[in-house]
Amino acid sequence: MANFDLNRLVRPNVAKLKPYSSARDEYKSEGEEMIFLDANENPFPSDVNRYPDPQQRNLKTELSNIKGIASENILLGNGSDEVLDLLFRVFCEPGKDNIITLPPTYGMYSVLAGINDIENREVLLDNNFQPKVSEILGKVDENSKIIFLCSPNNPTGNSFSEETVEEILQNFSGLVVIDEAYIDFSEKESWVQKLNNFPNLVIPQTLSKAYGLAGIRLGILYASEEIITILNRIKPPYNVNQLTQQRALEELKDQGKINLHVANILQERAGLFKALGETEIIEKIYESDANFILVKVDDADKRYRQLIEKGIVIRNRSSQPLCENTLRLTVGTELENKRLIQAFKELIS
Ligand SMILES: *Cc1c(COP(=O)(O)O)cnc(C)c1O
């Protein structure tokens, strides 16, 4: 393993910070009998007259039970977008540090790098959409803080091979982010089970996709207790609101429903895969471990516009490297997928 020293990675100003202590942090579970006159809240009860738990204890306990990971290894945020941004703000010094991303991939890494004034060193995936390890490691210098891997990858849909990911983890002394937004649609094992083997491993997940809760904005980050402690230092105290905490807790308790939805989406994905293979204008369908399928067509711009005219909005990914003339299709309901297939069949070369 490359020498991993967390203290070397943290920005000096963050290392010196004393976290803001919110009123609600100091007294909590003493509970029901206490009178809370500390936070200038409105005393008249409703579901939401109190500030939410800044550490989201109940929600983390539930996640901890489901995932088999201690609460101390979990950070929650206002969507993955927030937890990813926190990583930049803790570890990447503006105007000085750099990150490495592997296009074609999720656009948010590069957006956040831009916002935080961090150089984004790009190393394209290979023709099978797998990381090119020696090129990636060749780009690393002393200011390289984070390598972003997305597996299953958006927009390509494939997972990265375990050996490839492990080689990067072993040979990089900065943080390796493995974005698992789509892991629940994949048969591959989550890297969360391997957190203890790799001190530099950081895994974002989300309730936005498999859990069907994009609207409540709940992002999850799994990492070592040391990394989580530092991130907690700069996170806004009330970053996950009360309604989100309540709703997430309710939904997480109903794993049966989630499993049913995922199973249905996987079945629909298989059906789409087969049906799309029989349409004239689709030249290639890429394998998917996610709830979307990337396809190559004869003329993506034209087909995209034609589908809009038929009332179906998909994503044109043609501007991404290695993705010329590709469209990304989210797996919908049975009815939506039928409409999509029908529309594709009406398009003729
Ligand atoms: C959809 C998606 C997310 C989820 O972001 P949220 O902010 O949690 O909704 C994260 N990473 C990738 C790669 C995604 O495609």
Tens place of pLDDT per residue across the chain (349 aa)? 578 999 999 999 999 998 777 776 656 655 567 899 999 999 999 999 999 999 999 999 999 999 999 999 999 999 999 999 999 999 999 999 999 999 999 999 999 999 999 999 999 999 999 999 999 999 999 999 999 999 999 999 999 999 999 999 999 999 999 999 999 999 999 999 999 999 999 999 999 999 999 999 999 999 999 999 999 999 999 999 999 999 999 999 999 999 999 999 999 999 999 999 999 999 999 999 999 999 999 999 999 999 999 999 999 999 999 999 999 999 999 999 999 999 999 998 7
State how far the Cα of 349 lies from the Cα of 347, in Å rounded to an integer. Answer: 7
Q: Could you give the 3-state DSSP secondary structure of residue 211?
A: coil
What is the reported pLDDT for 251? Answer: 97
pTM value? Answer: 0.96
- The ligand 1 atom at the shortest distance from the C-alpha of residue 206 is 8
Residues 54, 64: Cα–Cα separation, whole Å:
17
Tokens (6 digits) for 198: 């790799």
Q: For residue 22, what pLDDT is reported?
A: 73
Assigned token pair, 124: 């394209």
- Structure confidence at residue 105 (pLDDT): 98
* Residue in 258, 263, 303 with CA at minimum distance from that of residue 280: 303
Question: In degrees to the nearest 10, what's the CA dihedral of 200, 203, 204, 205?
Answer: -170
Q: State the pLDDT at residue 293.
A: 98
For domain 6-253, give the CATH number: 3.40.640.10
* Both tokens assigned to 307: 């589908």
Atom of ligand 1 at shortest range from CA of 81: 7
Helix (H) or strand (E) run with residue 144 in it: strand 144-150
Q: Is 80 in the pocket of ligand 1 (CB under 6 A)?
A: yes
Residue type, 298: D
Question: CA-based angle 322:191:53, to the nearest 5?
Answer: 110
* Cα(202)–Cα(169) distance, integer angstroms: 10
End-to-end, the C-alpha distance of the chain in Å comes to 53
Q: Which of 221, 254, 261 is nearest to 240 (CA)?
A: 221
Closest CA to 234 of 346, 89, 108, 127: 89
Task: Please report, for the chain, the start and end positions of each structural domain, with discontinuous segments joined by +.
Answer: 6-253, 256-346
- For residues 51 and 23, the answer to whether their CB atoms sit within 8 Å is yes
CA torsion angle 70 73 76 80 (round to 10): -120
Q: Whose CA is nearest to atom 15 of ligand 1?
A: 154
Domain 256-346: CATH architecture, name and number where available = Alpha-Beta Complex (3.90)
Pocket test for ligand 1, best of 109, 182, 209 (most atoms within 8 A of CB): 209
